[in-house]
Amino acid sequence: MENVNMPGAAGGGNAREQVNVPAILLMVVGGLTILSALWGLVQAVTGSNASQMAEVLNNPDIPEQFKSYIGTASKIGPFGSLFQLVLGGLTAFGGLKMKNLESYPLAIAASIIAIIPCFGSCCCTGIPVGIWALIVLNKPEVKSSFRP
């Protein structure tokens, strides 16, 4: 039987089994975030949501403070989508590295990014997935199984 307590142990044994599902879920969360960011970029470039935005900003039932926030958010839309695209890519790539027991710091970073609700489209799924990944990553037998 393999020794999973040795750094870079071949195969990783039990550690590989422990990281498998949360790593795959991190890749899914990252992929969904990427898709959402690409959709946001398409909308920003084509202006396809301009009429809906005008309708929201002209609605008298919406308080002025929210209209101000919505207007500002719509102006930074393409940059927000690019930022979301980068963070989604990091989350997916970190999940891949976690699954392969490579780059422990990147796996930790991907887990933390998934937890922060403002950085992705999947905050409802990203929070539990990121927390689960962090719990698994902080187990000594998993931590020691990552390749340097």
pLDDT one-digit tens code per residue, 90-141: 999 999 999 999 999 999 999 999 998 876 656 678 999 999 999 999 999 9
pTM of structure = 0.76
66 CA to centre of own chain: 26
Q: What percent of the chain lies above the pLDDT cut of 70? A: 84
Q: What is the rounded CA–CA span in Å between residue 62 and residue 65?
A: 8
8 A C-beta contact, residue 110 and residue 98: yes
pLDDT of residue 10: 45
User: What pLDDT does residue 3 have?
Assistant: 43
- pLDDT at position 122: 62
**Average pLDDT of every residue of the chain:** 84
Running DSSP on this structure, what letter comes out for residue 145?
A: T
User: What's the one-letter identity of residue 31?
Assistant: G
What is the per-residue pLDDT for 123? 64
Q: What CA–CA distance (Å, rounded) separates 130 from 15?
A: 17
